[in-house]
Amino acid sequence: MWNSPSTLLWPLLGAFPWAENLSTLDYIQRLLLGLRDPAIALPELLGFSYLIHFALSRRAEICKQIRLKLQEIPMLPSKHWL
């Protein structure tokens, strides 16, 4: 984004530049090929490790919030009640 002013400043510069139509598999392949470059892979791995650390350090809080949200979902009637 920072290397492409047309993406960073798109409201000011008009429409996005045309990009080739990629299938989902091609898109994932391009993303993974970028990880061969250590300048890309290292920050990505550091960010991923931070997210894992964050999730593990707040595990109890996250589980509590998930349980509360699941309790708010109305239960469907059981087939035994019909």
**Whole-prediction pTM value?**
0.52
- pLDDT at position 23 is 86
Poorest-pLDDT segment among 11-15, 22-26, 48-52, 67-71: 11-15
* Per-residue pLDDT reduced to its tens digit, 35-44: 899 998 999 9
Radius of gyration over alpha carbons of the chain, in Å? 22
Q: In the predicted model, is pLDDT for residue 55 greater than 70? A: yes
- pLDDT at position 52 is 95
SS (H, E, C) 23-67: CHHHHHHHHHHHCCCHHHHHHHHHHHHHHHHHHHHCHHHHHHHHH
